[in-house]
Structure 1
Amino acid sequence: MFEDLRNFVLPALSDMIVAVEHVGSTSVPGLAAKPIVDMDVVVPTEAEVQTAVQRLTSLGYLHEGNLGIAGREAFIPPDHVPWHHLYVCTAENEEYKRHILFRDYLRSHPEDAKAYGDLKLELAERFRDDRKSYTRAKSDFVNGILKLAGWT
């Protein structure tokens, strides 16, 4: 699904992007995940973030702003493509760096990926109707992995 979604946005952005990265739980083989792809579209400069916003809007994406994370713009996908999370930022964006560090660590440490998946399943059951509590409850684990991966 990531490849299809990347191919959907590439024609509008191919002359300006640095990368389109598959991040989030679906990017780690075998990790428990909802079937929702997370994508980070990386552009060279802050000025190009605004150009990317305009171009994605022309594809039918709804720009949501930064949702409280400076330098990263979020989008709701068009109705005719599978639901996914798409963000645009530069390679210097801290949240982007965290996404890549976390993903790459879990990809190379399957035992930690399994522990994370087990925790996610337990928390999904416990916080079935409370997304904020679910996210809060896994933050200590995520921060621990980031620390192991070298996040300072």
Structure 2
Amino acid sequence: MDEIEIAPYDPDWPTAFERERSRLAAATTDIDMLDLVHFGSTAIANMPAKPIIDMLMIVSDLARARAVLPERLDRLGYDFWAENPKTDRLFFVRGMPPRGERRTHHLHVCEPGSEMHRRLAFLEYLNDHPEEAHSYAELKKGLAARYSKDREAYTRAKRAFVDRIIRLAGDA
């Protein structure tokens, strides 16, 4: 079962990202990667989160990344979600059974200006506004308890908050 667990902030999360960033960068030297950033709740200071390191790889050519990354990242233990209905991005998961006990990393791959790329504003806004970050933490805890076995419902239920913060970030 892939249950949603919200863990207290772990000060090792940024270091865990840097370790994985190095592994990914070494394996993708032939991809025109514009950036690889720590992304998601584990990248927000003091934010309780699912203990999964989210990363965002920004590439100049998504079609080229799609042709190369699934096989390349498979060697690093990542599973590719080939049936992702969102065609403006790629999504990889590391640590899922049978390769591991639980998800440890998510890698989102997108081009500049995409919806995923614009979500960096959410992360920046919450790091700059601790009161909103606290509200988000409380929301996540409540939703994780309510939707502990339904990842999609958990994500959908956060959408209004995320959209509001992205709007505020755009106005800032």
Residue 149 of structure 1: how far off its partner (Å): 1.1
Distance 2:144 2:77 in 1: 31
CA contact (8 A) 1:66 1:72 kept: no
2:91 aligns to what SS in structure 1? strand
Deviations 1:109-152 (A, max 9, x none): 1110111001111221222233333222221111111111118x
CA contact (8 A) 2:17 2:53 kept: yes
From 24, 28, 37, the equivalent of 1:13 is 28
Cα 1:150/1:122, change in 2 over 3 Å: same
- The question of 1:95 aligning with 2:111 is answered no
Single out whichever of 60-69 and 31-40 deviates more from structure 2: 60-69
Match of 2:56 in 1: 40
CA contact (8 A) 2:93 2:103 kept: no
CA contact (8 A) 1:67 1:73 kept: yes
Residue 63 of structure 1: how far off its partner (Å): 1.9
CA contact (8 A) 1:66 1:74 kept: no
TM-score w.r.t. the length of structure 1 is 0.85
Single out whichever of 107-116 and 59-68 deviates more from structure 2: 59-68
CA contact (8 A) 1:41 1:88 kept: yes
- The question of 1:84 aligning with 2:100 is answered no
From 122, 127, 149, the equivalent of 1:107 is 127
Cα 1:128/1:59, change in 2 over 3 Å: closer
CA contact (8 A) 2:62 2:89 kept: no
1:34 aligns to what SS in structure 2? coil
Match of 2:4 in 1: none
TM-score w.r.t. the length of structure 2 is 0.76
2:118 aligns to what SS in structure 1? helix
Cα 1:51/1:117, change in 2 over 3 Å: same
How many residue pairs end up in the alignment? 150
Where does structure 1 lack aligned partners over 5 or more consecutive residues?
none
1:92 aligns to what SS in structure 2? coil
1:48 aligns to what SS in structure 2? helix
Deviations 1:21-71 (A, max 9, x none): 111100101112011011111112234323333432343422212612122
